[in-house]
Structures are given as C-alpha cells and as structure tokens.
Amino acid sequence: MTKYFREPGWETRVKAGVALDVKVRFSECDPYGHMNNTIPFIYFEDARIELLEATGFSLKDGFVVVADAQCDYVRQVMPRQQLTVHANILTVGNTSCDIHYGAYDGEQLLFAGRTSLVHLTKEGRPTEWTPEYKNRLQNFCESAII
C-alpha cells in the first residue's frame, strides 16, 4: 500500500473532516457484482465538494482542478453496501492542497485515496490562494491534528 496510508494518525485525521454516506448502486458494479474501480473517484469528488464548501471556497476566487488522483482498493465492495466516505485536507501549499479520503463500512476500511488540487485563475494559470482562504484551509487541516 501507499506510504500515506501508513503515516501515524492518518485515519484519525481523515475522519476529522467531512463525512458522506453513500449506498453502492447496482449500476456502479460490474457483471461480477464488484464495485467498478472508477466509482471511488466519484465518491471522492462528492466528498471533496462538501469539504470545499465547508472551508468557504467560492468560484469567484478562481477554480480548483485535480492535478493528481490516487486510490488504493483494500477490500471488495458490493452492491447496496452502505459506506461512509471521509475527506480531509492533509497538506496546504501556496497554490495547491492535498485531500485524503477513506471509505468505511463501519470501522472496516474499504478503499482510500488522495487528490492534489491546484488553484487556478479563470484564465487557467496556477495562482496562490488568497491569504484569507489559505488560512481557512490550514485551520481546517490543523483542527484534525489535535
């Protein structure tokens, strides 16, 4: 598994962020009854939007794009299975941030991932977060460390 997975306190920090409850739809599964490997990225997107909304991000401040995405599949996921997808900011840079995710059935980790987001101007060029928003990102991130 990936290095970020084994960092001490990773699960505690991820679970301190936002949580999204989902039920795996039959249409999200392959003919063998397993969840398709693209679906976690859809769940990550939904959780990421909730996280950005929780930090007060506004499109008037520019855009964010996913520059890098990763998912580690830990256990098989089946149709109608109830999941909770957690997301939290783990690092904040000048123009980017890393969001980590963990999807659980109860206490059992099913899959985990991370995305790197880059803040862009409306013209599509990387730009620094405003000091106010960067502070909100860092405060949200640091609240998970305690």
Residue 33 predicted with pLDDT over 90: no
Please list, residue by residue across 53-88, b when 16 or more beta carbons sit within 10 angstroms of its beta carbon and e when fewer do. Answer: eebebeeebbebeeeebebebeeebeeeeebbbbbb
The per-residue DSSP string of 45-101 comes to HHHHHHHHHHTT--GGG-EEEEEEEEEEE-S---TT-EEEEEEEEEEE-SSEEEEEE
Mean pLDDT of 133-141: 86
Residue-wise pLDDT tens digits, 51-85:
999 998 887 777 899 999 999 999 999 999 999 99
Please list, residue by residue across 6-25, b when 16 or more beta carbons sit within 10 angstroms of its beta carbon and e when fewer do. Answer: eeeebbebbbbbbbbebebe
Residue 24 predicted with pLDDT over 90: yes
Residue with tokens 């301190």: 16
Mean pLDDT of 107-116: 96
Mean pLDDT of 80-105: 95
What is the Cα–Cα distance from 24 to 33, expressed in whole angstroms?
11
Mean confidence (pLDDT) of the chain = 90
